[in-house]
Amino acid sequence: MLNFFFWSDDGKALNMGKGHKQSGNTSLPRIVILGAGFAGLTCAQALRDAHASVTLVDRRNFHLFQPLLYQVATASLSPSDIAMPIRRILRHQANTTVVLGQVDAIDRHARTVRVSLSEDEHVIGFDYLVIATGAEPAYFGHDNWKKFAPGLKEVEDALVLRHRLLDAFERAETVEDADERRCLLSFVVIGGGPTGVEIAGDIAELAKIELGQSFRTIHGLTARIVLVEGGPQILPAFIPSLAAEAQRSLERLGVEVLTHTKVEGCDADGIVAAGRRIEARTLMWAAGVAASPAAQWLQVESDRVGRVPVDSDLSLPDDPAIFVIGDTAAVAGPDGKLVPGIAPAAKQEGKYVAELLLRRITGANGDHDKGIAQPTAFHYHHEGDLATIGRKSAVLDFGWIRLSGWLAWLLWGVIHIFFLIGFRNRVIVTLGWLWAYFTSERGSRLITGTGSELSE
Residue 74 in the binding site for its own copies (CB under 8 A): no
Return the number of the residue (120 or 319) whose C-beta is nearest its own copies.
120
Of 9, 26, 48, 61, the one binding its own copies by CB under 8 A: 61
Distance in angstroms between the alpha carbons of the first and the last residue of the chain = 24
Residue 179 in the binding site for its own copies (CB under 8 A): no
Return the number of the residue (104 or 120) whose C-beta is nearest its own copies.
120
Return the number of the residue (49 or 176) whose C-beta is nearest its own copies.
176
Q: Which residues are catalytic?
A: 198
From the CA atom positions of the chain, what is the Rg in Å? 23
Of 23, 27, 118, 299, the one binding its own copies by CB under 8 A: 118
Site for its own copies in 259-278 (CB under 8 A): none
263-267, strands of its sheet edge to edge: 263-267, 270-273, 276-279
Residue 127 in the binding site for its own copies (CB under 8 A): no
Residue 56 in the binding site for its own copies (CB under 8 A): no
Of 48, 60, 208, 262, the one binding its own copies by CB under 8 A: 60
> Is 81 strand, coil or helix?
helix
Residue 241 in the binding site for its own copies (CB under 8 A): no
Residues near 182 by beta carbon (within 8 Å), at least 6 away in sequence: 224, 279
Residue 213 in the binding site for its own copies (CB under 8 A): yes
Return the number of the residue (299 or 439) whose C-beta is nearest its own copies.
439
| Closest C-alpha to 147, from 273, 267, 262 | 267
Q: Amino acid identity, residue 16? A: M
Instruction: Find out whether 132 and 46 touch, Cβ atoms under 8 Å.
Output: no
Residue 147 in the binding site for its own copies (CB under 8 A): no
Q: How far is the CB of 135 from its own copies (least distance, A)?
A: 20
Question: d(Cα 336, Cα 225) in Å, to the nearest integer?
Answer: 37
Site string for its own copies, 180-209 (x = CB under 8 A): ------------------------------
* Neighbouring-strand partners of residue 387: 395
Residue 24 in the binding site for its own copies (CB under 8 A): no
Of 46, 83, 152, 343, the one binding its own copies by CB under 8 A: 83
Residue 306 in the binding site for its own copies (CB under 8 A): no
Residue 46 in the binding site for its own copies (CB under 8 A): no
Q: How far is the CB of 225 from its own copies (least distance, A)?
A: 21
Residue 424 in the binding site for its own copies (CB under 8 A): yes
How many other CB atoms are found less than 10 A from the CB of residue 78?
Answer: 17
Question: d(Cα 270, Cα 278) in Å, to the nearest integer?
Answer: 6
- Is the four-CA dihedral 55, 61, 63, 66 of positive or negative sign? negative
Residue 445 in the binding site for its own copies (CB under 8 A): yes
Distances in whole angstroms, Cα of residue 198 to Cα of each of 150, 169, 357, 391: 16, 20, 37, 10
Element (H, E) at 186: strand 186-190
Distances in whole angstroms, Cα of residue 432 to Cα of each of 64, 368, 408, 437, 444: 18, 50, 19, 8, 10
User: Which segments within 313-441 are labelled E, that is strand?
Assistant: 315-316, 319-324, 329-330, 385-389, 393-397, 402-405
Count the residues of the shown chain that bind its own copies, applying the rule CB under 8 A.
66
Residue 216 in the binding site for its own copies (CB under 8 A): yes
By CB under 8 A, name the binding residues for its own copies. Answer: 1, 3, 5, 7, 11-13, 15, 17-18, 60-62, 78-81, 83, 85, 87-88, 90-91, 97-101, 117-118, 120, 122, 155-156, 159, 166-167, 170-171, 173-177, 213-217, 424, 427-428, 431-432, 435, 439, 441, 443-450, 453
